[in-house]
Structure 1
Amino acid sequence: MPEQWKEVVSLFSNKWNFHRAVDALEGKHFAIRCPLNIGSHYYNCKGFHSILHLALVDVDYKFLYADVGTNGCSSDAGIFYATPLREDLELGLPEPEPLPGDDPPVPFFVIGNDAFALRTWMMKPFSDCTMTRQDRIFNY
């Protein structure tokens, strides 16, 4: 595994106690006034008009990738899956390795929010509707 990946994974492990994480992905809606004669093109699932910004950040919240200004009716996942970033992450992460002192290999992954599909390379929080105490601790 290249040294740069080892360094990033080590930073996530040490700072956030989250092993095998390489980056974090998040979308944010920014409220806007509805443009004239545009209909629901900018109306989002949260109930207001917005533009959407999608960002991939490192352990210190530094931007590594940004998609800025998509209409609010789009979803985080919809934007992400249409970018070349998705394929780069899906195909470009290192091969799974065991955690220190363990045997089974554990995949490297990006941390995403609940909007993203769970994948071997995308970790997301547990759904709010059926969380146990352990799930809430994990999400925290």
Structure 2
Amino acid sequence: MVLYLFRTPVLPIFPPFPEEEVQSAPLPARNTAKKSRPPRRDPFRPLDHPPALHPGLPPKPAGDPAAPASCQPPAEAVSSPSFRLLGILSVNGNRKALVSTPKGTCLLAPGETLPGKGTITHLQKDALYCGSNLLPIGEVWP
């Protein structure tokens, strides 16, 4: 068995390390207040409805503020009755249309009468047909 000893390699000469400098006292930290985030939009509120200023309180009717309360019409007469197609649902394997009415919401199947439009003839995944009319989800009609 032969042993071979390698010579010590010649390393390049490096400059010496710089001496440590004394650092001054750190600057005082700024008072950085956390920026507030803007309020998030309710994902279940339709895009074309304005947000309520005070949730739970009914919106104030836009009218003459100097008029006495006895001269203002009742709140039901101010709002116009409108209907909206909210969505198409599958209930027990059958497709039904979810419609918002002034009196509440209702589920309607093909063959039932849609208020103000006629009889539902066909339901798609994002629209329904009333006769020859196509109503997409979110459409409002009087």
Provide the TM-score with structure 2 as the length reference: 0.23
Structure 1 or 2, whichever has the larger Rg, is: 2
Structure with greater helix share of residues: 1
Higher RCO (C-alpha under 8 Å, 6+ residues apart):
1
Provide the TM-score with structure 1 as the length reference: 0.23
